[in-house]
A and B are shown apart, each in its own frame.
Chain A
């Protein structure tokens, strides 16, 4: 089987025919190499690093957590390390091969992945929770200079009535304007900055795939949820050459919800959208 893995996983206490067959068909980045990529599944067959680094409460020690034989986050290792404590993500490693890791050096601001020994889970996939108060992960030197940026993410907002529902991805900094990516807000808009321009269908409170394409040269944005119809609008865009990327916060606002995966491209991926979201949906079963 090219570019893939095939495996069997047996539920504890059960034997066939209740055995689940997991077919890890495609490594997303093998087909669609990215500028930066963060996930709790293995995205790149050539990637040999860890998925995340986790700090456990209790003694506050840290440890890298990688993937299991099926390309999922190694939950066994995670549970062994964290035990009955809480577990927090200090580093989300970039699987693109470009070493654009996201970090959070302040304990109180680290998103959570284990609560009292229970690994956070959304639709049978491990997920990371941002608390809407102060949680974020940041890379201060993204170095993105492209005129065209495409961003894909899998996320689930906590609720749809709070001002805390703001950006999950932000690129740039406050001094030169910051592009807001993948930011479903309660009004069913692409982001607060685009609210008057671009309307997309309801997605709040459900897990969804969010797609944003930013065409700086033509001042146009394109937004899409899952496999629904793409929307677009004219908009003067922020400077894409700004240096930072943040998941979870922007300009004093914090995202409240779950985040599974985020992929950033520094090139036009509109023609590849169908293939990319198909890969995402095969794994996450969003729609």
Chain B
């Protein structure tokens, strides 16, 4: 069974691009403030396994960096006991 989740976000077609995008956010927001902090990144990217791309879920804070988000359909297979 596949479930589709509808979200707003940004797509990246390689992990390197996703990593670069995450680092761009970290620099913009000054994360981490200290190396000892728990918070080490501003945002996280995910891999859409069934579709083969990476994505970052939209947050209002990201609009300044990446612009308007896309409407994404993410398909995933839920774990069923």
Contact = CB atoms under 8 A, between A and B. Distances in A.
Interface of A: 53, 55, 59-62, 90-91, 103-110, 133-134, 163, 174, 177-180, 192-194, 235-238, 250-253
25 contacts: A55-B39, A60-B30, A60-B37, A91-B38, A104-B38, A105-B38, A105-B41, A106-B40, A106-B42, A107-B39, A107-B41, A107-B43, A108-B43, A108-B44, A108-B57, A109-B44, A110-B39, A133-B57, A163-B3, A174-B79, A192-B78, A235-B81, A236-B81, A250-B79, A252-B78
Given A59-B33, A60-B30, A60-B31, A106 B79 contact: no
B29 interface: yes
Nearest to B44: A106
Most-contacted residue by chain A among B39, B44, B57, B59 (CB, 10 A): B39
A171 B34 CA distance: 31
Given A252-B5, A252-B74, A177 B39 contact: no
Interface of B: 3, 5, 7, 29-31, 33-34, 37-44, 57, 59, 61, 74, 76-81
B7 A103 contact: no
A90 B39 contact: yes
Nearest to A105: B40
Contacts, number: 86
Contact of B39 (A106, A193, A253): A106
Chain B interface secondary structure, helix, strand, loop or mixed?
Answer: loop
Contacts of A110: 39
A133 B81 contact: no
Contacts of B34: 61-62
Given A62-B37, A108-B42, A179 B78 contact: no
Given A60-B37, A108-B42, A163-B5, 5 more contacts: A55-B38, A59-B33, A60-B33, A62-B37, A193-B79
Contacts of B33: 59-62
A134 B61 CA distance: 14
Nearest to A221: B81
Nearest to A180: B81
B78 A251 contact: yes
A177 B81 contact: yes
Contacts of A59: 33
A256 to B, nearest CB: 13
The 3 A-B residue pairs with the shortest CB-CB distance, nearest first, are A193-B81, A90-B38, A252-B76
